[in-house]
Chain A
């Protein structure tokens, strides 16, 4: 008779079913670890995705050298006029260059629910600025009219802050600003902003200079040439960044902080879950010593016993992984917001589950299964046939 090669999967699975309570508790512990691991990665990815979606591939942001964030930056009128004459800028309808001079400031507003104040980005923009951000669409009301004290608010600002609704007005910088529309920025950072007319904002805030300039290149590959033209001009101590790169940098500090803290926590937590798996598998081996002896007597090899127990542990951890991921994927329906360290302003975002995160989470679960199951499986495989049969 040919010796059987491996223990059937059904046998392994049934063992888990026999000890339902233990299986549920162990898998539950692992599921929680995977849930934490996955949600943290999803949060980090959500911040990144939101800010990357804010930038357009052929847009360029011009800031003061070393400013890092829009609110630290200053571009005065003289510099702005020079930039508009630089070559390589796209022209829009009517032959005007697609350049927007934008003041960006923070205002403090009370959050809905707890009334605690948080900073909201207020951006002064222009018709060109609207053309530069095609992802932004007014969903309720209408766009602000240039030259008036009208503003439009992002979807997330309207949802997250008190007193920001269509037809309501906000008082800041000594004026009443009427909210005439709500816009949707397709899950970009603009959802967390309030927009109004650039020149009106400058007057109200008593500022002589803009914060940044946003422009579209005639040719997406023309960035290097444009940057050189800008940086070689001795009258400008400014720097140009592709909009995508600029916004990706804004996400870096917060996304990295969350990812590092979360991954460290998950690894610490996984020790608990691995211990749980180990206890379970040791108990499984101890309870089935006679069974192992029988399997071996029937001709199953040590390797088959080893892989059977390891398989059981992996199945257990896969169950935990799937449960944890299911819980984490439910988080995609949740909108959250927090202050971005880099901009000092509130940023709303979603948990984003990517295939890579799902794969990482499952891999994490399976590693826990291997680490927790290997020693018990090894012990099971090392049992002598005679002694283990006697254990019955």
Chain B
């Protein structure tokens, strides 16, 4: 108890310096947490994927469509419990900045494969009945202030022209991992409009979503599907939903690696600042430490004092930084809008923030502590002058 009091008194002897160091620590720990959360948010789609869904796409690349008649043939594959399909719609709502994912889906089969989208029966039926209908996620509706029945104009990039949909349903996610930032429209509408306009591109499907009854069979079912279409005009590549989402994330891997590197750099920066503070502290207290040694305290005690003080400041800064991360993350999520659908600070991130703070405390004290433990008593006492 006495020791803690001594540490506290020591730590706040230079109020200004300790205060500034704490500010730096809070900012750094907070930035570290925010960056980790950004990286986590990138992987949100992977976290939200189900082990009972496979994605079948063209083996050339995702941009190549597959024929609609594959649906029947996939459904007949052993181990498949359901098939649906979706096309990336790629429309623009007012400006490019309002980006959010839109899919043209086959309503009944699609929603059956995604039980995590909770939609009241009345809204579900209203969506099925209205060919121009659309279903949007709760977060998306909140962001743009949409209500049921609102018209929703989108400018097509892949499917030319302006499309006007009517919001018939707003879905909630079953848990925090579910993406509530998507919009769904009828695939049949898109396909029929295309047939009228250009004929050739109608009845094509971007990806098939395949439901399987047993997650352990994912690999063998994937092989069966791909074998079915091998050497055809449109060969397929089937993988688990998780692998499919991971492939997406890995396309931006360079940026993710850069963000992760930068989140470590901020810790190194604050390490330098904190080490500076501790070096100064130790230099100023040279005479004191020499006195303590002269009184018979072992070298370990002086070392303990320095480490204790450094860790105390780091712990205060770390806890304050973790506490500050939540409001900052909320503000960032609001500012970034739909860019990061799932933005919340994970427990692991908070734990890592505290570990980082502790590491800063230890590293900052190590060099001064090493020097102080070796200080010659006589020389130290002479330093008073």
Which residues 15-55 of B have a CB within 8 angstroms of A? 16-17, 20-21, 23-24, 27-28, 31, 35
Known: A25-B275, A25-B276, A339-B251. A272 touches B62 (CB 8 A): no
> Which of A64, A69, A107, A114 makes the CB contact (< 8 A) with B61?
A107
Using A66-B160, A116-B247, A268-B31 as known contacts, say yes or no to A276 and B60 having CB atoms under 8 A apart: no
Please name all residues of chain A whose beta carbon is closer than 8 Å to the beta carbon of B217 when the two chains form the complex.
none
**Is the Cβ of A208 less than 8 Å from the Cβ of B255?**
no
Tell me which residues from 242 to 288 in chain A have a Cβ below 8 Å from any Cβ of chain B.
Answer: 253, 258, 261, 265, 268-269, 271-273, 275-276, 278-280, 282-283
Residues of A within 8 A of B114 (CB): none
Q: Are A71 and B63 in contact (CB under 8 A)?
A: yes
Q: Quick check: B247 and A26 within 8 Å, CB to CB? A: no
Considering the complex of A and B, which 6 residue pairs feature the smallest CB-CB distances, nearest first?
A: A339-B251, A276-B273, A275-B24, A338-B254, A29-B272, A108-B61
Cβ-defined partner of A72 (8 Å) among B16, B27, B157: B157
B266:A269 contact, CB within 8 angstroms: yes
Identity of the chain A residue whose Cβ is nearest the Cβ of B24 in the assembled complex: A275
Is B96 on the interface with A (CB-CB < 8 A)? yes
Is A344's CB under 8 angstroms from B63's CB? yes
Q: Is B291 an interface residue (CB 8 A)?
A: no
- C-alpha spacing A280/B265, complex, angstroms: 20
* A117 to B268 CA separation, bound complex (whole angstroms): 33
Q: Identify B268's interface contact among A32, A65, A346, CB under 8 A.
A: A32
By a CB distance below 8 angstroms, the chain B residues around A116 are 247, 250, 253
Residues of B within 8 A of A67 (CB): 157, 160
Provided the pairs A25-B272, A64-B160, A72-B90 are in contact, do residues A279 and B266 lie with their beta carbons within 8 angstroms? no
CB of B60 within 8 A of CB of A173, answer: yes
- Could you show 24 A-B contacts with beta carbons less than 8 Å apart? A21-B279, A29-B269, A29-B276, A36-B262, A66-B155, A66-B160, A67-B160, A105-B61, A105-B63, A106-B61, A107-B60, A108-B60, A119-B63, A205-B64, A206-B233, A269-B31, A272-B28, A272-B273, A275-B20, A275-B24, A275-B273, A283-B17, A338-B253, A338-B255
Residues of A bordering B, CB below 8 Å: 21-22, 25-26, 28-29, 32-33, 35-36, 43, 64-69, 71-72, 105-108, 114, 116-119, 172-174, 205-206, 208, 237, 253, 258, 261, 265, 268-269, 271-273, 275-276, 278-280, 282-283, 336-339, 344, 346
Bound form: Cα–Cα A122–B135 in Å: 36
Task: List the B side residues contacting A36 at CB < 8 Å.
Answer: 262, 265
Residue of A nearest to B156 (CB): A66
Within 8 Å CB of A172, what residues of B? Answer: 60
Q: Which of B61, B64, B96, B156 is most buried by chain A, counting CB atoms within 10 A of its CB? A: B61
B157: A residues at CB distance < 8 A: 66-69, 72
Residues of B within 8 A of A22 (CB): 276, 279-280
Q: Answer yes or no: B252 CB below 8 A from chain A CBs.
A: yes
Residue contact B276 to A280, C-beta cutoff 8 Å:
yes
CB of A353, distance to nearest CB on chain B (Å): 17
The reply on B366 being an interface residue by CB < 8 A is no
Q: Which residues of B contact A338 (CB under 8 A)?
A: 251-255
Q: Is the CB of B247 within 8 A of A117?
A: yes
Q: Give a binary string over B2-25; 1 marks a CB under 8 Å from any A CB, 0 the rest.
A: 000000000000001100110110
**Cβ–Cβ < 8 Å partners of B160 in chain A:** 64-67, 237
How near does chain B come to A350, taking the closest CB pair, in angstroms?
13
State whether B251 touches A118 (Cβ < 8 A): yes
Query: Nearest-CB distance from B164 to chain A (Å)?
Result: 16
- B254-291 vs A, CB cutoff 8 Å, 1 = contact: the mask equals 11001100100110111011011101100000000000
Nearest CB of chain B from residue A154's CB, rounded to whole Å: 17
Within 8 Å of chain A (Cβ to Cβ): is B158? yes
Inter-chain CA distance A71–B157, complex, in Å, is: 10
Most buried by A among B160, B200, B237, B269: B269
Closest to A252 in B: B96
A-B pairs under 8 A by CB, number = 142
Per-position 1/0 for B364-377, Cβ under 8 A of A: 00000000000000
Question: Contacts A28-B272, A64-B160; is A279 near B254 (CB within 8 Å)?
Answer: no
> What distance in Å separates the Cβ of A370 from its nearest Cβ neighbour in chain B?
16
Q: A208-B200, A275-B273 are contacts. A119–B21 as well, Cβ < 8 Å? A: no
From A258, A261, A282, A339, give the contact of B16 (CB < 8 A): A282
Contacts A32-B268, A106-B63, A271-B27; is A282 near B17 (CB within 8 Å)?
Answer: yes
Pairwise interchain contact A283-B61, C-beta atoms closer than 8 A = no
Task: Tell me which residues across on chain B come within 8 A of A173, comparing CB atoms.
Answer: 60
Q: Would you call A279 and B60 a contact (CB within 8 A)?
A: no
A265–B258 Cα distance when bound, in Å, is 12
CB-nearest residue of chain A to B272? A29
Report the separation of the CA atoms of residues A69 and B21 in the bound assembly, to the nearest whole angstrom: 49
Contact A29 B273 (CB under 8 A): yes
Say whether A33 contacts B269, CB under 8 Å: yes
Q: Name the distance in Å between B182's Cβ and chain A's nearest Cβ.
A: 18
**B247:A276 contact, CB within 8 angstroms:** no
Q: How far is the CA of A119 from the CA of B248 in the complex (A)?
A: 10
Q: Is the CB of A105 within 8 A of B60?
A: yes
> Contact at A275–B23, with CB atoms within 8 Å?
yes
Having A72-B157, A173-B60, one finds 8 other A-B pairs with CB under 8 Å, namely A65-B160, A174-B233, A265-B35, A265-B266, A271-B23, A272-B24, A272-B28, A344-B63
Give complex CA distance A173, B234 in Å. 8
* A268 & B27 in contact (Cβ 8 Å cutoff): yes
- Chain B: minimal CB distance from A337 (Å): 7
A279–B28 touching, CB < 8 Å = no
